[in-house]
Structure 1
Amino acid sequence: MTIWTLPERPARGPKPVYSRAQITEAAIRVADAEGLEAATMRRVAAEIGTGAMSLYRYVPSRDDLLELMADRLTGELDLAGVPSGDWRADLTRYADELRAMWRRHPWIGGVRRSLPGLGPNQLVLIERLMGVLDPHVPIDENLGLVALLNGYVEGVVREEIGAAEQLRRSGLSEPEWMARSHAHVDRLVKSGDHPIFTKIVTEARRPHLSRDDQFRHGLRRVLDCVAAALPPAT
Protein backbone atom coordinates (compact mmCIF):
# COMPACT_ATOMS: atom_id res chain seq x y z
CA MET A 1 0.00 0.00 0.00
CA THR A 2 1.30 3.47 -0.88
CA ILE A 3 0.25 6.98 0.02
CA TRP A 4 -1.49 7.16 -3.37
CA THR A 5 -3.88 4.32 -2.50
CA LEU A 6 -4.94 5.87 0.80
CA PRO A 7 -7.90 8.26 0.82
CA GLU A 8 -6.98 11.77 1.86
CA ARG A 9 -10.09 12.05 4.02
CA PRO A 10 -10.60 9.13 6.43
CA ALA A 11 -14.10 7.67 6.39
CA ARG A 12 -14.37 8.11 10.16
CA GLY A 13 -13.18 10.59 12.72
CA PRO A 14 -13.21 14.39 12.86
CA LYS A 15 -13.22 16.49 9.73
CA PRO A 16 -9.64 17.08 8.50
CA VAL A 17 -8.19 20.47 9.34
CA TYR A 18 -5.29 20.25 6.90
CA SER A 19 -4.79 18.87 3.40
CA ARG A 20 -1.93 16.75 2.13
CA ALA A 21 -1.03 19.62 -0.18
CA GLN A 22 -0.65 22.00 2.81
CA ILE A 23 1.48 19.49 4.67
CA THR A 24 3.62 18.85 1.60
CA GLU A 25 4.20 22.56 1.01
CA ALA A 26 5.19 23.00 4.66
CA ALA A 27 7.67 20.12 4.40
CA ILE A 28 9.20 21.63 1.26
CA ARG A 29 9.57 25.01 2.98
CA VAL A 30 11.43 23.34 5.83
CA ALA A 31 13.66 21.33 3.49
CA ASP A 32 14.45 24.39 1.35
CA ALA A 33 15.40 26.43 4.41
CA GLU A 34 17.06 23.83 6.63
CA GLY A 35 17.79 20.73 4.56
CA LEU A 36 16.03 17.42 4.09
CA GLU A 37 17.06 15.99 7.45
CA ALA A 38 15.26 18.85 9.19
CA ALA A 39 11.96 17.93 7.54
CA THR A 40 10.91 15.47 10.24
CA MET A 41 7.30 14.76 11.06
CA ARG A 42 7.67 16.75 14.28
CA ARG A 43 9.26 19.74 12.55
CA VAL A 44 6.69 19.79 9.74
CA ALA A 45 3.87 19.51 12.27
CA ALA A 46 5.28 22.53 14.09
CA GLU A 47 5.50 24.42 10.78
CA ILE A 48 1.74 24.08 10.24
CA GLY A 49 0.89 24.55 13.90
CA THR A 50 -0.13 21.09 15.03
CA GLY A 51 1.31 18.14 16.94
CA ALA A 52 3.34 15.37 15.38
CA MET A 53 0.78 12.72 16.26
CA SER A 54 -1.92 14.73 14.49
CA LEU A 55 0.18 14.75 11.34
CA TYR A 56 0.09 10.96 11.16
CA ARG A 57 -3.66 11.14 10.57
CA TYR A 58 -2.90 12.69 7.19
CA VAL A 59 0.47 11.13 6.28
CA PRO A 60 1.18 7.70 7.80
CA SER A 61 4.99 7.88 7.71
CA ARG A 62 7.93 10.07 6.81
CA ASP A 63 8.57 7.90 3.75
CA ASP A 64 5.08 8.80 2.61
CA LEU A 65 5.86 12.46 3.24
CA LEU A 66 9.01 12.21 1.12
CA GLU A 67 6.97 10.62 -1.67
CA LEU A 68 4.52 13.52 -1.55
CA MET A 69 7.40 16.02 -1.63
CA ALA A 70 9.08 14.33 -4.60
CA ASP A 71 5.83 14.28 -6.55
CA ARG A 72 5.21 17.93 -5.77
CA LEU A 73 8.65 18.89 -7.13
CA THR A 74 8.05 16.81 -10.24
CA GLY A 75 5.06 19.04 -10.84
CA GLU A 76 7.43 22.01 -11.19
CA LEU A 77 8.75 20.66 -14.49
CA ASP A 78 7.06 22.63 -17.26
CA LEU A 79 6.55 20.15 -20.07
CA ALA A 80 3.35 21.56 -21.51
CA GLY A 81 3.12 20.63 -25.18
CA VAL A 82 5.56 17.71 -24.85
CA PRO A 83 5.84 15.60 -26.92
CA SER A 84 5.97 18.17 -29.67
CA GLY A 85 7.28 15.98 -32.48
CA ASP A 86 10.83 17.35 -32.12
CA TRP A 87 12.45 14.81 -29.81
CA ARG A 88 15.75 16.68 -29.43
CA ALA A 89 14.03 19.93 -28.47
CA ASP A 90 11.75 18.08 -26.05
CA LEU A 91 14.57 16.25 -24.29
CA THR A 92 16.64 19.44 -24.12
CA ARG A 93 13.71 21.22 -22.51
CA TYR A 94 13.22 18.39 -20.04
CA ALA A 95 16.92 18.36 -19.10
CA ASP A 96 16.90 22.12 -18.54
CA GLU A 97 13.76 21.89 -16.40
CA LEU A 98 15.13 19.00 -14.35
CA ARG A 99 18.43 20.74 -13.70
CA ALA A 100 16.67 23.95 -12.66
CA MET A 101 14.40 22.05 -10.26
CA TRP A 102 17.37 20.29 -8.63
CA ARG A 103 19.17 23.61 -8.20
CA ARG A 104 16.10 25.16 -6.55
CA HIS A 105 15.72 22.18 -4.23
CA PRO A 106 19.15 20.52 -3.85
CA TRP A 107 17.87 18.29 -1.05
CA ILE A 108 15.92 16.25 -3.63
CA GLY A 109 19.11 14.25 -4.18
CA GLY A 110 18.65 12.82 -0.68
CA VAL A 111 15.21 11.37 -1.43
CA ARG A 112 15.78 7.72 -2.20
CA ARG A 113 13.03 5.54 -3.62
CA SER A 114 13.38 1.86 -4.46
CA LEU A 115 10.56 2.09 -7.02
CA PRO A 116 9.47 4.82 -9.42
CA GLY A 117 6.94 7.19 -7.90
CA LEU A 118 3.32 6.74 -8.90
CA GLY A 119 2.02 10.14 -7.84
CA PRO A 120 -0.11 12.24 -10.17
CA ASN A 121 2.71 14.55 -11.27
CA GLN A 122 5.11 11.65 -11.74
CA LEU A 123 2.59 9.81 -13.90
CA VAL A 124 2.12 12.91 -16.05
CA LEU A 125 5.89 13.10 -16.43
CA ILE A 126 6.09 9.46 -17.50
CA GLU A 127 3.45 9.95 -20.16
CA ARG A 128 4.98 13.16 -21.52
CA LEU A 129 8.66 12.20 -21.32
CA MET A 130 8.35 8.61 -22.46
CA GLY A 131 5.97 9.77 -25.17
CA VAL A 132 8.81 11.71 -26.79
CA LEU A 133 10.65 8.59 -27.99
CA ASP A 134 7.74 6.15 -27.92
CA PRO A 135 7.05 6.45 -31.68
CA HIS A 136 10.66 5.62 -32.50
CA VAL A 137 11.93 2.85 -30.19
CA PRO A 138 10.63 -0.12 -28.16
CA ILE A 139 9.71 0.63 -24.55
CA ASP A 140 12.83 -1.06 -23.10
CA GLU A 141 15.07 1.07 -25.31
CA ASN A 142 13.03 4.12 -24.38
CA LEU A 143 13.56 3.43 -20.67
CA GLY A 144 17.29 3.02 -21.18
CA LEU A 145 17.68 6.24 -23.15
CA VAL A 146 15.69 8.24 -20.61
CA ALA A 147 17.82 6.72 -17.84
CA LEU A 148 20.94 7.81 -19.75
CA LEU A 149 19.63 11.38 -19.92
CA ASN A 150 18.56 11.42 -16.28
CA GLY A 151 21.94 10.08 -15.22
CA TYR A 152 23.74 12.85 -17.08
CA VAL A 153 21.60 15.63 -15.60
CA GLU A 154 21.80 14.20 -12.10
CA GLY A 155 25.56 13.76 -12.28
CA VAL A 156 26.12 17.33 -13.45
CA VAL A 157 23.78 18.93 -10.96
CA ARG A 158 25.13 16.92 -8.03
CA GLU A 159 28.60 18.22 -8.88
CA GLU A 160 27.26 21.77 -9.12
CA ILE A 161 25.48 21.49 -5.78
CA GLY A 162 28.54 19.93 -4.15
CA ALA A 163 30.82 22.67 -5.46
CA ALA A 164 28.43 25.38 -4.26
CA GLU A 165 28.31 23.80 -0.80
CA GLN A 166 32.09 23.52 -0.67
CA LEU A 167 32.40 27.21 -1.53
CA ARG A 168 29.83 28.12 1.09
CA ARG A 169 31.69 26.22 3.78
CA SER A 170 35.03 27.73 2.78
CA GLY A 171 33.78 31.29 2.95
CA LEU A 172 35.74 32.05 -0.23
CA SER A 173 34.66 33.28 -3.63
CA GLU A 174 35.08 30.86 -6.54
CA PRO A 175 38.21 32.68 -7.88
CA GLU A 176 39.70 32.66 -4.35
CA TRP A 177 38.93 28.98 -3.95
CA MET A 178 40.54 28.16 -7.32
CA ALA A 179 43.59 30.29 -6.53
CA ARG A 180 44.17 28.34 -3.34
CA SER A 181 45.02 25.20 -5.33
CA HIS A 182 47.14 26.90 -8.02
CA ALA A 183 50.50 26.29 -6.34
CA HIS A 184 49.86 22.57 -5.97
CA VAL A 185 48.60 22.27 -9.55
CA ASP A 186 51.69 24.09 -10.84
CA ARG A 187 53.96 21.66 -9.00
CA LEU A 188 52.14 18.67 -10.49
CA VAL A 189 52.42 20.08 -14.01
CA LYS A 190 56.09 20.99 -13.68
CA SER A 191 56.96 17.53 -12.32
CA GLY A 192 56.25 15.95 -15.72
CA ASP A 193 54.84 12.88 -13.99
CA HIS A 194 51.22 13.43 -14.94
CA PRO A 195 50.95 14.09 -18.70
CA ILE A 196 47.19 13.50 -18.99
CA PHE A 197 46.48 15.73 -16.00
CA THR A 198 48.72 18.35 -17.60
CA LYS A 199 46.65 18.21 -20.79
CA ILE A 200 43.49 18.69 -18.76
CA VAL A 201 44.94 21.74 -17.05
CA THR A 202 46.59 23.34 -20.05
CA GLU A 203 44.59 22.26 -23.09
CA ALA A 204 41.05 21.34 -22.08
CA ARG A 205 38.39 23.72 -23.34
CA ARG A 206 35.44 22.73 -21.19
CA PRO A 207 36.77 23.85 -17.78
CA HIS A 208 36.95 27.38 -19.19
CA LEU A 209 33.29 27.41 -20.21
CA SER A 210 30.56 28.65 -17.93
CA ARG A 211 28.63 25.99 -16.03
CA ASP A 212 25.65 26.55 -18.29
CA ASP A 213 27.78 26.12 -21.41
CA GLN A 214 29.44 23.02 -19.97
CA PHE A 215 26.02 21.54 -19.25
CA ARG A 216 24.74 22.25 -22.73
CA HIS A 217 27.94 20.90 -24.35
CA GLY A 218 27.59 17.60 -22.51
CA LEU A 219 23.86 17.46 -23.16
CA ARG A 220 24.44 17.68 -26.90
CA ARG A 221 26.76 14.66 -26.66
CA VAL A 222 24.17 12.69 -24.69
CA LEU A 223 21.51 13.52 -27.27
CA ASP A 224 23.89 12.46 -30.02
CA CYS A 225 24.03 9.07 -28.29
CA VAL A 226 20.22 9.00 -28.20
CA ALA A 227 20.15 9.83 -31.91
CA ALA A 228 22.49 6.89 -32.65
CA ALA A 229 19.94 4.55 -31.07
CA LEU A 230 17.03 5.80 -33.16
CA PRO A 231 16.02 4.54 -36.61
CA PRO A 232 17.41 6.53 -39.57
CA ALA A 233 15.67 9.81 -40.46
CA THR A 234 14.16 10.15 -36.96
Structure 2
Amino acid sequence: MSETPESDAAELELPRAIALAWGIAANPQRGPKREMSVERIVEAAIEVADADGLAAVSMSAVAARLGFTPMSLYRYVTAKDDLLLLMQEEAVGLPSEASRTAGDWRAQLTALYDGQVARYVRHPWVLDIPITGSPVTPNSAAWMDAGLHALADTPLSHEERLSVMLLVTGLARWTGIVFAGYARTQREADVTAAELTAREDALFRALVTEDAYPHLAAAIAAGVFLDDGDPFRFGVERALDGVAAYIASAPHPAAPPSAAERDDDSALLADKRYREAQKAVRQAERALRDARKAARAVAREARERLRRQN
Protein backbone atom coordinates (compact mmCIF):
# COMPACT_ATOMS: atom_id res chain seq x y z
CA MET A 1 0.00 0.00 0.00
CA SER A 2 1.41 3.41 -0.97
CA GLU A 3 1.71 6.10 1.65
CA THR A 4 -0.51 9.18 1.51
CA PRO A 5 0.98 12.65 0.99
CA GLU A 6 0.04 13.43 4.60
CA SER A 7 2.05 10.49 5.91
CA ASP A 8 5.00 11.44 3.72
CA ALA A 9 4.81 15.06 4.87
CA ALA A 10 4.56 14.02 8.50
CA GLU A 11 8.10 12.67 8.26
CA LEU A 12 9.39 16.10 7.18
CA GLU A 13 10.05 19.03 9.47
CA LEU A 14 7.62 21.35 7.72
CA PRO A 15 7.45 25.06 8.50
CA ARG A 16 4.33 25.64 10.56
CA ALA A 17 2.67 27.83 7.91
CA ILE A 18 3.09 25.10 5.27
CA ALA A 19 1.73 22.49 7.66
CA LEU A 20 -1.22 24.75 8.49
CA ALA A 21 -1.95 25.32 4.79
CA TRP A 22 -2.06 21.58 4.17
CA GLY A 23 -4.15 20.97 7.29
CA ILE A 24 -1.60 18.71 8.96
CA ALA A 25 -0.40 20.99 11.76
CA ALA A 26 -1.29 20.26 15.34
CA ASN A 27 -3.84 22.67 16.75
CA PRO A 28 -3.14 24.43 20.07
CA GLN A 29 -4.43 22.56 23.09
CA ARG A 30 -6.36 25.55 24.36
CA GLY A 31 -7.09 29.05 23.23
CA PRO A 32 -8.51 32.29 24.62
CA LYS A 33 -11.99 31.60 23.28
CA ARG A 34 -13.70 28.97 21.22
CA GLU A 35 -14.22 31.34 18.26
CA MET A 36 -10.46 31.86 17.81
CA SER A 37 -8.92 29.76 15.02
CA VAL A 38 -6.28 29.98 12.32
CA GLU A 39 -9.03 30.46 9.73
CA ARG A 40 -10.57 33.38 11.64
CA ILE A 41 -7.17 35.02 12.13
CA VAL A 42 -6.40 34.76 8.41
CA GLU A 43 -9.85 36.10 7.52
CA ALA A 44 -9.37 39.11 9.80
CA ALA A 45 -5.88 39.76 8.41
CA ILE A 46 -7.25 39.75 4.87
CA GLU A 47 -9.94 42.23 5.92
CA VAL A 48 -7.21 44.53 7.24
CA ALA A 49 -5.14 44.18 4.05
CA ASP A 50 -8.13 44.72 1.75
CA ALA A 51 -9.03 47.89 3.62
CA ASP A 52 -5.63 49.45 4.29
CA GLY A 53 -2.97 47.50 2.39
CA LEU A 54 -0.36 44.94 3.38
CA ALA A 55 1.65 47.43 5.46
CA ALA A 56 -1.29 47.74 7.85
CA VAL A 57 -1.21 44.02 8.70
CA SER A 58 0.38 43.31 12.07
CA MET A 59 -0.35 40.89 14.86
CA SER A 60 -1.64 43.77 16.98
CA ALA A 61 -3.92 45.09 14.21
CA VAL A 62 -5.37 41.65 13.55
CA ALA A 63 -5.79 40.96 17.27
CA ALA A 64 -7.58 44.27 17.74
CA ARG A 65 -9.95 43.44 14.89
CA LEU A 66 -10.75 40.13 16.59
CA GLY A 67 -10.99 41.61 20.08
CA PHE A 68 -8.07 39.65 21.53
CA THR A 69 -4.55 40.41 22.69
CA PRO A 70 -1.64 40.03 20.21
CA MET A 71 -0.06 37.28 22.32
CA SER A 72 -3.19 35.15 21.96
CA LEU A 73 -2.67 34.98 18.18
CA TYR A 74 0.78 33.46 18.56
CA ARG A 75 -0.79 30.28 19.92
CA TYR A 76 -2.19 29.74 16.42
CA VAL A 77 0.16 31.59 14.02
CA THR A 78 3.68 31.77 15.38
CA ALA A 79 5.11 34.48 13.08
CA LYS A 80 3.94 37.26 10.80
CA ASP A 81 5.62 35.62 7.79
CA ASP A 82 3.48 32.54 8.43
CA LEU A 83 0.40 34.73 8.53
CA LEU A 84 1.33 36.36 5.21
CA LEU A 85 1.72 32.97 3.54
CA LEU A 86 -1.67 31.83 4.82
CA MET A 87 -3.25 35.12 3.70
CA GLN A 88 -1.79 34.67 0.24
CA GLU A 89 -3.02 31.09 0.08
CA GLU A 90 -6.56 32.14 1.00
CA ALA A 91 -6.60 35.19 -1.30
CA VAL A 92 -5.43 33.40 -4.45
CA GLY A 93 -8.00 30.66 -3.88
CA LEU A 94 -8.50 27.94 -6.46
CA PRO A 95 -8.48 28.29 -10.26
CA SER A 96 -11.85 28.35 -11.97
CA GLU A 97 -13.32 25.29 -13.61
CA ALA A 98 -12.91 27.09 -16.94
CA SER A 99 -9.13 26.75 -16.61
CA ARG A 100 -9.66 23.01 -17.18
CA THR A 101 -12.75 22.95 -19.41
CA ALA A 102 -12.63 26.12 -21.52
CA GLY A 103 -11.54 24.29 -24.67
CA ASP A 104 -8.09 23.66 -26.08
CA TRP A 105 -4.83 24.40 -24.28
CA ARG A 106 -4.92 28.02 -25.39
CA ALA A 107 -8.43 28.68 -24.11
CA GLN A 108 -7.59 27.02 -20.81
CA LEU A 109 -4.43 29.10 -20.32
CA THR A 110 -6.36 32.26 -21.21
CA ALA A 111 -8.94 31.39 -18.56
CA LEU A 112 -6.11 30.80 -16.10
CA TYR A 113 -4.62 34.20 -16.96
CA ASP A 114 -7.97 35.97 -16.57
CA GLY A 115 -8.59 34.24 -13.24
CA GLN A 116 -5.25 35.28 -11.81
CA VAL A 117 -5.65 38.89 -12.93
CA ALA A 118 -9.08 38.99 -11.27
CA ARG A 119 -7.58 37.70 -8.01
CA TYR A 120 -4.87 40.35 -8.08
CA VAL A 121 -7.38 43.13 -8.70
CA ARG A 122 -9.58 41.86 -5.87
CA HIS A 123 -6.67 41.52 -3.41
CA PRO A 124 -3.90 43.83 -4.74
CA TRP A 125 -1.84 43.51 -1.56
CA VAL A 126 -0.93 39.96 -2.65
CA LEU A 127 1.38 41.61 -5.19
CA ASP A 128 3.29 43.29 -2.34
CA ILE A 129 4.31 39.97 -0.78
CA PRO A 130 7.92 39.27 -1.85
CA ILE A 131 8.49 36.23 -4.05
CA THR A 132 11.02 34.02 -2.28
CA GLY A 133 10.27 30.79 -4.14
CA SER A 134 7.35 28.64 -5.17
CA PRO A 135 4.80 28.57 -2.32
CA VAL A 136 4.35 24.90 -1.47
CA THR A 137 0.68 25.27 -0.57
CA PRO A 138 -2.46 23.51 -1.82
CA ASN A 139 -4.00 26.42 -3.74
CA SER A 140 -0.70 27.44 -5.34
CA ALA A 141 -0.19 23.82 -6.37
CA ALA A 142 -3.70 23.80 -7.86
CA TRP A 143 -2.92 26.80 -10.07
CA MET A 144 0.29 25.16 -11.28
CA ASP A 145 -1.50 21.89 -11.89
CA ALA A 146 -4.21 23.66 -13.90
CA GLY A 147 -1.60 25.29 -16.14
CA LEU A 148 0.19 22.00 -16.71
CA HIS A 149 -3.15 20.24 -17.31
CA ALA A 150 -3.88 22.67 -20.15
CA LEU A 151 -0.67 21.57 -21.89
CA ALA A 152 -0.85 17.86 -21.02
CA ASP A 153 -1.92 16.77 -24.52
CA THR A 154 0.72 18.84 -26.32
CA PRO A 155 4.07 17.41 -27.44
CA LEU A 156 5.91 19.77 -25.08
CA SER A 157 8.21 18.28 -22.48
CA HIS A 158 7.43 18.70 -18.78
CA GLU A 159 10.08 21.42 -18.58
CA GLU A 160 8.59 23.28 -21.54
CA ARG A 161 5.07 23.05 -20.11
CA LEU A 162 6.29 24.53 -16.85
CA SER A 163 7.99 27.35 -18.74
CA VAL A 164 4.81 28.16 -20.67
CA MET A 165 2.80 28.10 -17.45
CA LEU A 166 5.28 30.52 -15.84
CA LEU A 167 5.04 32.77 -18.92
CA VAL A 168 1.27 33.04 -18.53
CA THR A 169 1.34 33.56 -14.76
CA GLY A 170 4.10 36.14 -15.14
CA LEU A 171 2.02 38.09 -17.65
CA ALA A 172 -0.96 37.85 -15.30
CA ARG A 173 1.09 39.22 -12.42
CA TRP A 174 2.35 42.17 -14.47
CA THR A 175 -1.19 42.94 -15.67
CA GLY A 176 -2.41 42.69 -12.08
CA ILE A 177 0.26 45.14 -10.90
CA VAL A 178 -0.83 47.76 -13.43
CA PHE A 179 -4.58 47.25 -13.02
CA ALA A 180 -4.32 47.26 -9.23
CA GLY A 181 -2.23 50.45 -9.36
CA TYR A 182 -4.77 52.18 -11.55
CA ALA A 183 -7.62 51.06 -9.30
CA ARG A 184 -5.77 52.43 -6.25
CA THR A 185 -5.19 55.77 -8.00
CA GLN A 186 -8.87 55.98 -8.97
CA ARG A 187 -9.93 55.43 -5.36
CA GLU A 188 -7.46 57.94 -3.94
CA ALA A 189 -8.29 60.61 -6.54
CA ASP A 190 -12.00 59.75 -6.55
CA VAL A 191 -12.16 59.61 -10.36
CA THR A 192 -13.48 57.15 -12.89
CA ALA A 193 -11.23 55.10 -15.16
CA ALA A 194 -12.18 57.31 -18.12
CA GLU A 195 -11.36 60.48 -16.15
CA LEU A 196 -8.00 59.06 -15.10
CA THR A 197 -6.97 58.10 -18.65
CA ALA A 198 -8.15 61.48 -19.95
CA ARG A 199 -6.01 63.20 -17.33
CA GLU A 200 -2.95 61.14 -18.28
CA ASP A 201 -3.56 61.77 -21.98
CA ALA A 202 -3.69 65.51 -21.36
CA LEU A 203 -0.42 65.42 -19.43
CA PHE A 204 1.30 63.47 -22.19
CA ARG A 205 0.05 65.86 -24.85
CA ALA A 206 1.30 68.83 -22.85
CA LEU A 207 4.74 67.42 -22.05
CA VAL A 208 5.72 65.12 -24.93
CA THR A 209 6.88 66.95 -28.02
CA GLU A 210 7.22 65.55 -31.50
CA ASP A 211 10.81 66.79 -31.77
CA ALA A 212 11.99 65.01 -28.62
CA TYR A 213 9.80 61.88 -28.74
CA PRO A 214 8.49 61.53 -32.30
CA HIS A 215 7.18 57.96 -32.04
CA LEU A 216 5.54 58.42 -28.65
CA ALA A 217 4.00 61.69 -29.83
CA ALA A 218 2.52 59.92 -32.84
CA ALA A 219 1.02 57.23 -30.60
CA ILE A 220 -0.46 59.89 -28.30
CA ALA A 221 -1.94 61.71 -31.30
CA ALA A 222 -3.52 58.42 -32.35
CA GLY A 223 -5.26 58.25 -28.97
CA VAL A 224 -3.59 55.13 -27.56
CA PHE A 225 -4.00 56.35 -23.99
CA LEU A 226 -7.72 56.94 -24.51
CA ASP A 227 -8.39 53.39 -25.67
CA ASP A 228 -10.70 51.76 -23.12
CA GLY A 229 -9.73 48.22 -24.11
CA ASP A 230 -7.33 45.87 -22.33
CA PRO A 231 -3.85 47.03 -23.39
CA PHE A 232 -2.30 43.73 -22.31
CA ARG A 233 -4.56 41.32 -24.19
CA PHE A 234 -2.70 41.78 -27.48
CA GLY A 235 0.62 40.85 -25.85
CA VAL A 236 -0.87 37.78 -24.19
CA GLU A 237 -2.38 36.60 -27.46
CA ARG A 238 0.91 37.09 -29.32
CA ALA A 239 2.79 35.21 -26.61
CA LEU A 240 0.37 32.31 -27.03
CA ASP A 241 0.84 32.57 -30.81
CA GLY A 242 4.52 31.93 -30.20
CA VAL A 243 3.76 28.92 -28.04
CA ALA A 244 1.38 27.60 -30.72
CA ALA A 245 4.07 27.99 -33.39
CA TYR A 246 6.58 26.18 -31.21
CA ILE A 247 4.11 23.36 -30.53
CA ALA A 248 3.46 23.04 -34.27
CA SER A 249 7.18 22.58 -34.86
CA ALA A 250 7.74 20.17 -31.99
CA PRO A 251 7.87 16.38 -32.50
CA HIS A 252 4.41 14.89 -32.00
CA PRO A 253 4.06 11.93 -29.65
CA ALA A 254 2.89 8.60 -30.97
CA ALA A 255 -0.59 7.28 -30.19
CA PRO A 256 -0.92 5.56 -26.79
CA PRO A 257 0.11 1.89 -27.04
CA SER A 258 -2.45 -0.89 -26.67
CA ALA A 259 -2.30 -3.40 -23.79
CA ALA A 260 -0.63 -5.96 -26.06
CA GLU A 261 1.90 -3.37 -27.21
CA ARG A 262 2.66 -2.45 -23.60
CA ASP A 263 3.32 -6.11 -22.83
CA ASP A 264 5.63 -6.30 -25.85
CA ASP A 265 7.40 -3.13 -24.70
CA SER A 266 8.02 -4.67 -21.29
CA ALA A 267 9.72 -7.61 -22.95
CA LEU A 268 11.68 -5.32 -25.27
CA LEU A 269 13.09 -3.36 -22.34
CA ALA A 270 15.03 -6.45 -21.36
CA ASP A 271 16.90 -6.23 -24.68
CA LYS A 272 20.08 -4.18 -24.39
CA ARG A 273 20.18 -3.13 -28.06
CA TYR A 274 16.56 -1.93 -27.85
CA ARG A 275 17.35 0.19 -24.80
CA GLU A 276 20.34 1.69 -26.56
CA ALA A 277 18.16 2.51 -29.59
CA GLN A 278 15.59 4.22 -27.36
CA LYS A 279 18.36 6.23 -25.72
CA ALA A 280 19.62 7.31 -29.15
CA VAL A 281 16.10 8.48 -30.05
CA ARG A 282 15.89 10.60 -26.92
CA GLN A 283 19.30 12.10 -27.61
CA ALA A 284 18.28 12.88 -31.20
CA GLU A 285 15.06 14.58 -30.03
CA ARG A 286 17.04 16.64 -27.54
CA ALA A 287 19.53 17.58 -30.26
CA LEU A 288 16.66 18.58 -32.55
CA ARG A 289 15.19 20.88 -29.89
CA ASP A 290 18.63 22.40 -29.27
CA ALA A 291 19.14 22.89 -33.01
CA ARG A 292 15.80 24.66 -33.37
CA LYS A 293 16.64 26.87 -30.42
CA ALA A 294 20.00 27.73 -32.00
CA ALA A 295 18.30 28.44 -35.34
CA ARG A 296 15.90 30.86 -33.69
CA ALA A 297 18.83 32.64 -32.02
CA VAL A 298 20.67 32.93 -35.36
CA ALA A 299 17.50 34.26 -37.00
CA ARG A 300 17.16 36.93 -34.31
CA GLU A 301 20.78 37.97 -34.81
CA ALA A 302 20.30 38.11 -38.59
CA ARG A 303 17.22 40.30 -38.26
CA GLU A 304 19.12 42.59 -35.91
CA ARG A 305 21.98 42.91 -38.42
CA LEU A 306 19.50 43.75 -41.19
CA ARG A 307 17.89 46.43 -39.03
CA ARG A 308 21.28 48.00 -38.33
CA GLN A 309 22.16 47.95 -42.03
CA ASN A 310 18.91 49.67 -42.94
TM-score by length of 2: 0.65
Cross-structure match for 2:294: none
Cross-structure match for 2:52: 34
Cross-structure match for 1:117: 135
Determine the C-alpha separation between the residues in 2 that align with 1:31 and 1:70: 11
Determine the C-alpha separation between the residues in 2 that align with 1:231 and 1:194: 40
C-alpha RMSD of the superposition: 2.7
Determine the C-alpha separation between the residues in 2 that align with 1:202 and 1:184: 10
Asked if 2 retains the 8 angstrom alpha-carbon contact of 1:74 and 1:125, the reply is no
Cross-structure match for 2:82: 64
Cross-structure match for 1:216: 233
Determine the C-alpha separation between the residues in 1 that align with 2:167 and 2:173: 10
> Within 5 A, what are the aligned runs for 1:5-154?
5=19, 7-10=25-28, 13-14=29-30, 17=34, 18-79=36-97, 82=100, 86-136=104-154, 137-154=156-173
Map Cα deviations across residues 32-54 of structure 1 (whole Å, 9 max, x no partner): 11111111111112222221111
From the superposition, tell whether residues 184 and 231 of structure 1 become closer, same or farther in structure 2 (CA, over 3 Å). closer
Count the aligned residue pairs: 229
Quote the offset at 1:182 in angstroms: 2.5
Determine the C-alpha separation between the residues in 2 that align with 1:101 and 1:184: 31
Q: Which segments of 5 or more consecutive residues in structure 1 lack a partner in the other structure?
A: none
Percent identical across equivalent pairs?
31
Alignment-mate amino acid for residue 74 of structure 1 = V
Q: SS state of the match for residue 214, structure 1?
A: coil
Asked if 2 retains the 8 angstrom alpha-carbon contact of 1:73 and 1:101, the reply is yes
Q: Which segments of 5 or more consecutive residues in structure 2 lack a partner in the other structure?
A: 1-13, 253-310
Determine the C-alpha separation between the residues in 1 that align with 2:192 and 2:103: 43
Asked if 2 retains the 8 angstrom alpha-carbon contact of 1:103 and 1:161, the reply is yes
Structure of greater relative contact order (alpha carbons < 8 Å, 6+ residues apart): 1
Stretches of 4+ moved more than 4 A in 1?
171-177
Determine the C-alpha separation between the residues in 1 that align with 2:145 and 2:162: 12
